[in-house]
Amino acid sequence: MCGIAGFIAGCGAADARLLAPMLARIAHRGPDGQGSFVEGPAALGHCRLAIIDPDGGAQPLYSEDENLVIVFNGEIYNYRALTAELTALGHTFATRTDTEVLLHGWEQWGRELLPRLRGMFAFALWDRRAGTLFCARDMFGIKPLYYCRCADGTLLFASEIKAFLDHPSFEKRFNAAQLPLYLSCQYSPGRDTFFAGVEKLLPGHFLEFSEGIVRTARWVQPLFLPGEASISPAEIEAVLRGSVEAHKIADVEVAGFLSGGVDSGLITALARPARSYTIRYAEPRYDESLPARALARSLGLRNHLRCISPGEFWDAVPAVQYHMDEPLADAAAVALYFLNREAARDVKVVLSGEGADELFGGYNIYRDPFTMQWYDRLPPWLRGALGTAAGLVPPGPGINFLMRRGVSLEERYFGPTALLNEWEKRRLLADYAGDGSPLYLTEALWDMTEGLDPVSRMQQIDLNLWLAGDILLKADKMSMAHGVELRVPFLDKEVFAVAAALPAAAKADARQTKLALRQAAARVLPPAAAARKKLGFPVPVRDWLRQEPYTSRVRAVFSRPAAGAFFNPRALHSMLNRHLHGGDCWRQIWCVYSFLVWYEQFFGA
């Protein structure tokens, strides 16, 4: 696990002096050392967090003939099997690191190396003779990679956007078109970013840069293809156990994150790390530490508990938004920031439960097709009329239901946390033409899932948008902010092969989610832990917004010039007042507040 950064100069030779500040910006990702390669137009840099082969795994790494140069962020969990296979084919390895598998694998198979990899990765490989750059990202998007083609022809790439800020070819410009999308989703969706010209290499994609031309293409598309045959709890347990064992491969201690939910509990029970880490709040309504600590005791684990005070939570928001690179309105990111900071005192690697909801049907919205089915039998014109009328008034539980069920799944669903609707965006934004709906991002995904059950179709949307854009991005950025490698055993290609084939009835019903996974979890967890209702890493922001000094903090940010540049300040203050007097607008308030705090970090005076 590391950070990578580099560039291919648009003309002339690369200046080695330009690479150093890029690496300095992301030094938190790899505090154990830095390395660089600069030759001709190419400059490749690496910040290392030493996990496998600490003595021999420094990067950049070179092929045997030194023609290929690579910088790599991630872990290849089947590298030992691939090393044996490549050795049998005549390749000679100089290190024990998983990075070297990528070099020999590229020499042997070219792009066909990618589907052979089991792991999380984002890497950049330079071919010195051909003068070509090849970059690739893993199938789920666990590890991030950004790139930018500058006006002078220079191509920049890095694990974090902030690495571009000090390069003279990069022009920092705000991309206003991303704001309405963010307000809908609570994260920055799709290929574009809030920095004009900076793009994400999407999950399961590769990039080739040759003769001044950038080409990107998808190398894998994970698909949910539910079958008719049932998959036993024992089969699910077995594939998860195998993934956990693979994810424990390291030359350093591997710990675990443990909340009160089934996902982290199952991973922890299978892994049995020596220690685990849990977050708690003083507010009982949001405290998951009691079931987490009870599970840790039953497993014989040392559990480290970190209580977050309201003051330190709010004080950390600017740092969280800076490390995220783009604004994120997921308040759990702040909790994850503290959780990783606590773990970093002792370990470099932790296992976590991200991905279980997307693969096994864990979000409460997946129960939607099974509830109030009588309403769906009403004439479409009547449901549509009620939904249209509901869209003209402020949102609320009943209003949201009418809007949601007034149109087809394809016309409304773009993720489990749809936030500001069009009515709210028109009210809040200073200048909004109504062209900021994220539904265009889902069109191809709906086409490829036509004929499948509604839950599988929603899972396909979430796997491609929400998982990569929010869940995994905050996991990467909040862990790497403290030099911690976060591993996610649910997001393994072998596990996905099983999850993708689950029948629709094994995912959710009107009362419960993750049905098949809970049955598997019951084989290794206490019954109460396997059946526990999903809480989703709750954070007390709703309550804190009604308390001083936090109300005044938000009001002050809503009164600053940046707020007036993008929003209607009167509408912002009205929304805050409505929450103070009993309304429930905390997610909308937090979304705007997070954006404005982020904007100050990167575009403030």
65 & 164 share domain: yes
pLDDT of residue 56: 81
Residue 70 pLDDT > 70:
yes
- In this structure, the answer to whether residues 203 and 237 fall within a common structural domain is no
pTM for the model stands at 0.95
Dump the DSSP string for 164-196. Answer: GTT-TT----B-TTHHHHHHHHSS--SSB-SBT
The pLDDT value recorded for residue 395 is: 64
pLDDT level of residue 95 (50, 70, 90 thresholds):
very high
Contact at 8 Å (CB) between 514 and 530? no
Task: Please give the tally of structural domains in the chain.
Answer: 2
Give the chain's end-to-end CA distance (angstroms, integer). 34
Residue 536: pLDDT above 70? no
- On the question of pLDDT at 200 being above 80, the answer is yes
pLDDT of 348? 96
- Whole domain around residue 294: which residue ranges? 233-361+464-531
Q: Are residues 21 and 74 in the same domain?
A: yes
H helices within 141-261, ranges in order?
A: 178-185, 233-247
Please give the Cα distance from 363 to 368 (Å, whole number).
10
- Check pLDDT > 90 for residue 526: no
pLDDT at 394: 66
**Sheet containing strand 254-257, strands side by side:** 302-307, 275-280, 254-257, 349-351, 485-487
Pairing between β-strand 205-210 and β-strand 302-307 as defined by DSSP bridges: unpaired
Over residues 585-595, the mean pLDDT reads 97
How high is the pLDDT of residue 551?
Answer: 97
At residue 605, the pLDDT reads: 60
Whether 389 is covered by a domain: the verdict is no
Q: Which of 260, 453, 467 is nearest to 363 (CA)?
A: 467
The model's confidence at residue 541, banded by pLDDT at 50, 70 and 90, is very high
Q: Is residue 421 part of a domain?
A: no
Listing from the earlier edge strand, what are the strands of the sheet with 61-62?
61-62, 68-76, 119-127, 132-137, 205-210, 213-218
Sole residue written with tokens 């080695």: 16
Q: 309 and 161: one domain?
A: no
Q: Tell me which of 476, 505, 531 is where a domain ends.
A: 531
Residue 7 placed within a domain? yes
Q: Does 159 score more than 70 pLDDT?
A: yes
| Per-residue confidence (pLDDT) for residue 289, from 0 to 100 | 85
pLDDT per position as a tens digit, 418-462: 899 888 899 999 989 888 889 999 999 999 999 999 999 999 999
54 occurs within a structural domain: yes
Long-range contact pairs involving 291-295 (C-beta distance under 8 Å, separation at least 24): 291/260, 291/528, 291/529, 291/532, 292/258, 292/259, 292/260, 292/264, 292/265, 295/258, 295/260, 295/265, 295/268, 295/269, 295/525, 295/526, 295/529
Mean pLDDT for 341-357 is: 97
What is the rounded average pLDDT of the residues 144-172?
98
Eight-state DSSP code of residue 274: S
pLDDT tens profile 265-314: 999 999 999 999 999 998 878 888 888 888 898 888 899 999 999 999 99
Query: What is the token pair recorded at 115?
Result: 């589907």
240 assigned to some structural domain = yes
**Residues 129 and 68 occupy one common structural domain:** yes
60 plus 119 within the same structural domain: yes
**Does the structure show a pLDDT above 80 at 110?**
yes
At 378, is the pLDDT very low, low, confident or very high (cuts 50, 70, 90)?
A: confident
524, 270 contact by CB (below 8 A): yes
Whether 588 contacts 598, CB under 8 Å: no
Of the listed ranges 467-476, 533-542, 590-599, the one predicted with least confidence:
533-542
Residues 36, 142: Cα–Cα separation, whole Å:
24
Catalytic annotation on 2?
yes
Residues 2, 135, 185, 591: which is the catalytic one? 2
pLDDT at position 489, please?
98
- Whether 161 and 213 share a structural domain: yes
Query: Which of 509, 531, 553 delimits the end of a domain?
Result: 531
Do residue 202 and residue 294 come from a single domain? no
> 308 and 213 in one domain?
no
Query: Could you tell me if 458 and 414 are in contact, meaning their C-beta atoms sit under 8 angstroms apart?
Result: no
Record the tokens describing residue 571, joined without a space: 């509408």
pLDDT tens digit sequence for 391-411: 676 666 777 777 777 778 888
Same domain, 210 and 238: no
Average pLDDT, whole number, for the chain?
93
Q: Do residues 520 and 237 lie in contact, with contact meaning Cβ atoms separated by under 8 Å?
A: yes
pLDDT band at 260 (very low <50, low <70, confident <90, very high): confident
The Cα 547–Cα 531 span in angstroms is 34
Tokens coding 34: 């830095």
Only one residue has tokens 């912002």, namely 572
pLDDT score of 396: 67
Specify the higher pLDDT residue, 539 or 91.
91
CATH number of the domain enclosing 205: 3.60.20.10
3-class DSSP string for 280-301 = ECCCHHHCCHHHHHHHHHHHCC
Which of 150-159, 225-234, 496-505, 533-542 is predicted with the least confidence, judged by mean pLDDT?
533-542
Confidence of residue 126 (pLDDT cuts 50, 70, 90): very high
Alpha helices in 481-560 (DSSP H): 493-500, 515-521, 527-531, 541-544, 550-558
- What's the alpha-carbon Rg for the chain, to the nearest Å? 24
Domain assignment of residue 543, yes or no? no
**End position of a domain, from candidates 480, 505, 531:** 531
pLDDT level of residue 235 (50, 70, 90 thresholds) = very high
486 and 346 share one domain: yes
Closest CA to 123 of 201, 18, 30, 17: 201
Q: What is the pLDDT of residue 343?
A: 97
Q: Strand order of the sheet with strand 198-200?
A: 34-39, 42-48, 2-8, 155-158, 146-149, 198-200
Is residue 256 domain-resident? yes
Checking if the pLDDT of 38 tops 90, the result is yes
What does the pLDDT read at residue 438?
92
Please check the confidence at residue 389 and state whether its pLDDT lies above 90: no
pLDDT at 537: 61
Q: Are residues 19 and 98 in the same domain?
A: yes
One-letter identity of residue 333:
A
Q: Name which residue leads in pLDDT, 430 or 373.
A: 430
* CA distances, 558 to each of 123, 472, 564 (Å): 40, 29, 8
DSSP state of 260: S
Q: What is the pLDDT of residue 261?
A: 86
Asked, for residue 44, whether it belongs to a domain, the answer is: yes
Local structure of 47: helix, strand or coil: strand
Instruction: Find the range with the poorest average confidence among 214-228, 233-247, 516-530.
Output: 516-530
What CATH number did the domain enclosing 493 receive?
3.40.50.620
Task: Name the band, by pLDDT with cuts 50, 70 and 90, for residue 388.
Answer: confident
Work out the average pLDDT over 15-20. Answer: 97
pLDDT in tens, 544-589: 999 999 999 999 999 999 999 999 999 999 999 999 998 899 999 9
What is residue 62's predicted lDDT score, i.e. its pLDDT?
96
